């Protein structure tokens, strides 16, 4: 059980709360230096993350998640790294129900 619990908390630790403004995880793989350099040069008017994109299906309510909504990415598998997505509100509701 200890292993299971540890893994659960490991997952919680690496849950990335995107809150709909940072775009998908794939967008964040570029180095920070590179991103900062791009920011200094010229801010793009229309950024990819500003567009509403389909992210995936919420694992709780099964509704589609769009990138302009608040959502979280949960690590599903590590090799290869795949993600489950959930609305932030759905995850929070589920988490609260577990603690009652």
In the complex, which residues of this chain contact Zn ion (CB under 5 A)? 58, 60-61, 87, 90
Nearer to Zn ion, 25 or 61 (CB): 61
Tell me how far, at minimum, the Cβ of 77 lies from Zn ion, in Å: 21
Give the C-alpha separation, 5 to 63, whole Å: 28
Minimum distance, C-beta of residue 6 to Zn ion, in the bound complex (Å): 27
Which residue's C-beta sits nearest to Zn ion?
58
| Both structure tokens of 24 | 């998908």
Query: Which lies closer to Zn ion via its Cβ, residue 4 or residue 54?
Result: 54
CA distance 61 to 90: 7
Computed from CA positions of residues 14, 18, 24, 29, in that sequence, does the dihedral angle turn out positive or negative? negative
């Amino acid at each position: 059980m200890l292993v299971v619990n540890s893994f659960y908390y490991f997952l919680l630790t690496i849950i990335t709360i995107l809150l709909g403004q940072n775009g998908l995880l794939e967008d964040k793989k570029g180095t920070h230096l590179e991103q900062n350099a791009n920011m200094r040069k010229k801010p793009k008017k229309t950024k990819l993350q500003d567009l509403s994109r389909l992210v995936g299906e919420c694992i709780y309510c099964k509704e589609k998640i769009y990138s302009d909504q608040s959502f979280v990415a949960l690590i599903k598998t590590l090799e290869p790294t795949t993600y489950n997505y959930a609305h932030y509100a759905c995850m929070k509701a589920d988490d609260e129900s577990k603690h009652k």
